[in-house]
Amino acid sequence: MREIVLDTETTGLDPLRGDRLVEIGCVEIFNRMPTGQTFHRYINPERDMPEEAFAVHGLSGEFLADKPVFAQVVDEFIEFIGDAPLVIHNASFDVGFINAELGRLSRPAIVRERLVDTLLLARRKHPGVSNRLDDLCSRYAIDNSRRTKHGALLDAELLAEVYIDLIGARQSQLILTENVAARAHTAGDTPRRQRTVPLAPRLTEAEQIAHREFVATLGDKPIWAEFSSDAS
User: Which of 44, 54, 4 is CA-nearest to residue 23?
Assistant: 44
User: Which of 52, 66, 56, 68 is CA-nearest to residue 152?
Assistant: 56
Q: Which residues of 163-176 are buried (b: 16+ CB within 10 A; e: fewer)?
A: bbbbbeebeeeeee
Task: Give me the amino acid identity at 201.
Answer: P
In angstroms, the CA 201 to CA 204 distance is 8
Task: Give me the amino acid identity at 92.
Answer: S
Q: Taking the CA of residue 44 as centre, how many other CA atoms within 13 Å lie in the half-sphere pointing to its CB?
A: 9
CB 58 within 8 A of CB 149: yes
In angstroms, the CA 106 to CA 175 distance is 47
- In terms of phi and psi (left: phi > 0; alpha: psi -120 to 50; beta: otherwise), the region of 31 is left
Instruction: Confirm whether 185 is a catalytic residue.
Output: no
Residue of 57, 150, 185, 211 marked catalytic? 150
Q: Which residues are designated catalytic? A: 150
